Chains A and B, each alone.
Chain A
């Protein structure tokens, strides 16, 4: 809200320095976001929080400053029209929807002479950010800025039957608003109607037909109170926000309705815009009883953390316009909440008033005492930290990318889930939640590749989303991507590091399982349109498929200058966490020596290494400690279609030194298993 300082000084003698006033306001909870110097003096730009509708006016701000500065307020007591008087002969007011309109008041102004408003008024309006229009409209805006009560002036002669009916819009009703737009009125929204048709969207905008214009001779001036939520809904449905709706949404003082109408009449007479008719049509079916709240100074002290005396409580509250009912009570002070403070409902609300006016600088700093609790990261965070430090340790740079994505061929959920779309997306770019980490990884790769930056080795841990009918899934995944070597080439170009390939990506996945102490997963032929059909795999753990690894399919792979292939992987980190076992059982070290022997079975090229592993696993001699594949060979002198694997076996017994016979028998067991299950032959 824009507030000219000189206008404020009409009601309270605050200092001339805008900085001083701005600081006090900010410290009272009305943040001054900026101060502008104009010809008419300083104008403060105040951010009013949504709970403080009462501060959307010069008088409201003055009231706050009266409490902050301990200064008296100059607000003229207005005892205006109390009964209908002559006005009753001009018009009638009927409220058919008292739940949405607790109060509606109208005054009549005759002999209206539309013209410009005086310079002083125009200056203040402009300083407060409003455009002067004519003397009658300017007065309504002026009073709104001064008191917070939005007003509306109707051309009395355009009101059919000279009556005001406050009711809900009927189905299909339309109206042209002041801005010239013909609008369908949302069914059930509150309208001001004459005998037949709506003449204003209540609390939002008036109708064009009944607008005050140069030919207007008589004005019906509206001052009313509307249900805030109803105004907010209507404004939202019409996509129409006005100074009036902004204030009504934030609650206007229902007790100030008549006073604002009277103030407007006073100004209209003063600027010579017309002659107010004696009397007011004030229909007030929704008068709320006064609200009383009890506040215990002890409770205030406990919550605020510094001692608060009873007299301080009563003093602060009195300055804020509360009426102290029973001052000096032993345990509690009972106060009547002013009608303009609907936000004050219970004791704690009053405590806040006391605290902020006494000043939060009085709050000391101390650390909580009481039960000492065990703090720490969440289980998931601890787990992910292990995953992250491993992948970073292996040379991958961590990235953090967007959850909101456009439709993307790379964004596929491997558990066949649908995309979770955003109903009110900002743009197609942000129209849904990611199902896979791959688009973000590719994006980081492309972004850096295009700038010639590397190494192109990244990983991310993040949430992915999918929809399975009515079920929504949110899972933490970990994914990685590689293009070229993980290490930079350096200056030894004659022996450059090897580029990442399927085997590198698979190695990363295997190390992940290894560090998490999970049994090695199976790598099974994948069927994923994003991946090279011959160089990709599903990762299968005990619980089922937990991810994928592979080279990107050339059809989805981004075009880069580099000729290197892109490989990537993605694993459901939560699935791994569920499988991971943090307990480690120590295995004693055998004091007996190990024996190493190599075997080099030759198999047909279509026998995968996995079959060899399988055969060994099922026929593993008790003394086999471990084995390792140390070479794969094909080509001359081997015949076409034959491969040779060189395997190095380590044998050891926990309780004795192995004999040559032990080792020979074990090797023979493996050899014959490979002959039988894989058709292996062994060179002699």
Chain B
């Protein structure tokens, strides 16, 4: 029995001495292996008197369990320490910049259009597309522009031939929609427009607009004001107020210019009004029963207000210093 106690003591000392998992494995083999010391001890059981044998066997097994447990504990200790050392050796400079992965962004105008579409979709407006290469009939005639009228002074137009032109306003879509659509409807469109203008920080011959119009029973200027407030509030944030000022556009009557009160100032956003009954009637819509409103504004203007951009020209210059800011 003494040998077992001694062996256990030695094993304990060796386990404690093992400095690595490899050394520990050697200790394990030395004591617990099939040719190990414990096994040898067990084999010597035959030399003992028969009645001592059970107690000896039990003692050896107890020692085996103890040593096994000691080794397991020590192994866990050593492994943890080894992982610790490895992790320590793998330390890097985490303040170095990350790998620059490819990153594309959407153009600010696309982002703004997306926001406009989201807000107006929520208000029940269906977006449709119209051509940029329009015809005189849709861009002017259908919108109640009399021939040779001074209203054309504000609509300097690029012509391709006598009939075809580059649309000066996305409102050109109204007639295209009313050709097939019966009320009630809520329609919106976004797109590129062109006007024969000299380019500066606030004017461009190429720009983008959103145009919105709806026709239903009992639609009034109050609905227009409420819709504008909802729209402007969603686009610019906060509780905005809407102000109307009389203005003239051949396709609306009454016609207004609308402004919103935002961040302590009035911002003029665009034109609006009640769809002219001449237009409804031209498409066979009973203007007595159905009334509607229309409003429009510039996509660039929305983005400029949202972000404080001060030069309209930046939108078509594609300078990464500008594009990467949004």
Contact = CB atoms under 8 A, between A and B. Distances in A.
B124 A303 contact: no
Contacts of A401: 316, 318
A231 to B, nearest CB: 9
B145 to A, nearest CB: 10
B159 A50 contact: no
Given A376-B121, A474-B133, A398 B106 contact: yes
B248 A425 contact: no
Interface in A444-477: 444, 447-448, 451, 453-455, 457-459, 463, 465, 472, 474
Contacts of A52: 248
Given A368-B214, A398-B105, A488 B100 contact: yes
A360 to B, nearest CB: 4
A183 to B, nearest CB: 20
Interface in B245-262: 245-248, 253-257
Nearest to A473: B133
Nearest to B122: A375
B148 A397 contact: no
A31 B245 contact: yes
A39 interface: no
Interface in B135-152: 146-151
Given A50-B154, A397-B105, A363 B221 contact: yes
A401 B223 CA distance: 36
Contacts of B147: 229
Contacts of B74: none
Interface in B145-171: 146-151, 153-154, 158-161, 164, 166
Contact of A459 (B99, B104, B216): B104
B274 interface: yes
Contacts of B227: 367-368
Given A397-B105, A402-B316, A305 B221 contact: yes
Given A229-B149, A398-B110, A433 B133 contact: yes
From B126, B146, B276, residue with most partner A Cβ within 10 Å: B126
Q: How large is the interface on B (under 10, 10 to 19, 20 to 34, 35 or more residues)?
A: 35 or more
A303 B253 CA distance: 10
Nearest to A30: B246
B40 interface: no
B56 interface: no
Interface string A569-586: 000000000000000000
Which applies to chain B's interface (DSSP): helix, strand, loop or mixed?
A: mixed
B196 A424 contact: yes
Interface stretch (A139-147, A351-359, A676-684): A351-359
Interface in B80-123: 96-97, 99-107, 109-110, 113-114, 117, 120-123
A487 B34 CA distance: 60
A543 interface: no
A29 B247 contact: yes
A370 B159 contact: no
Contacts of B126: 373-376, 378
Interface string B250-283: 0001111100000000000000001011000000
A233 B147 CA distance: 10
Contacts of A492: 99
B110 to A, nearest CB: 6
Contacts of A491: 96-97
A195 interface: no
A472 B164 contact: yes
Contact of A426 (B159, B186, B205, B246): B205
Interface in B176-197: 184-186, 188-190, 192, 194, 196
A29 B104 contact: no
Contacts of B127: 375-378, 381
Contact of B254 (A233, A355, A403): A355
A249 B225 contact: no
A542 interface: no
Contacts of A363: 220-222, 225, 244
A622 interface: no
Interface string A375-396: 1111011000100110111111
A259 interface: no
Given A348-B276, A451-B319, A457 B102 contact: yes
A549 B7 CA distance: 80
A97 interface: no
B132 A474 contact: yes
Given A374-B126, A423-B160, A360 B245 contact: yes
A674 B172 CA distance: 59
A398 B221 contact: no
Contacts of B13: none
Contact of A304 (B221, B246, B317): B221
Contacts of A373: 124-126, 184-186
B221 A360 contact: yes
Given A27-B245, A367-B223, A400 B315 contact: yes
B109 to A, nearest CB: 5
A214 B284 CA distance: 63
B323 interface: yes
A365 B274 contact: no
A366 B222 contact: yes
Contact of A453 (B206, B214, B316, B321): B321
From A49, A364, A444, A459, residue with most partner B Cβ within 10 Å: A49
B305 to A, nearest CB: 19
Contacts of A404: 158, 194, 205-206
B245 A424 contact: no
Interface string A480-501: 0000001111111000000000
Contacts of A380: 129
A349 B148 contact: no
A470 to B, nearest CB: 10
A454 B184 CA distance: 50
B226 interface: yes
Contacts of A182: none
Nearest to B149: A50
B54 interface: no
A387 to B, nearest CB: 11
Contacts of B223: 305, 366-368
A657 interface: no
Given A29-B247, A400-B318, A305 B196 contact: no
B243 interface: yes
B148 A375 contact: no
A24 B102 CA distance: 56
A502 B294 CA distance: 48
B49 interface: no
Contact of A28 (B151, B218, B246, B254): B246
A188 B203 CA distance: 37
A356 B274 CA distance: 13
B132 A463 contact: yes
A360 B254 CA distance: 10
A408 interface: no
Interface of B: 96-97, 99-107, 109-110, 113-114, 117, 120-129, 131-133, 146-151, 153-154, 158-161, 164, 166, 184-186, 188-190, 192, 194, 196, 198, 205-206, 214, 216-227, 229-230, 242-248, 253-257, 274, 276-277, 291, 315-321, 323-324
Leading 4 A-B pairs by shortest Cβ distance: A395-B102, A305-B222, A29-B246, A305-B220
17 contacts: A50-B153, A228-B148, A356-B254, A360-B243, A360-B256, A378-B127, A381-B113, A395-B101, A397-B105, A400-B110, A403-B192, A403-B206, A425-B158, A444-B318, A448-B319, A448-B320, A490-B97
Interface of A: 26-29, 31, 49-52, 228-229, 232-233, 249-250, 302-306, 346, 348-349, 351-352, 355-356, 360-361, 363-378, 380-381, 385, 388-389, 391-404, 420-426, 430, 433, 440, 443-444, 447-448, 451, 453-455, 457-459, 463, 465, 472, 474, 486-492
Given A50-B248, A304-B222, A487-B101, 8 more contacts: A229-B149, A360-B245, A360-B256, A373-B186, A378-B189, A400-B315, A422-B166, A447-B318
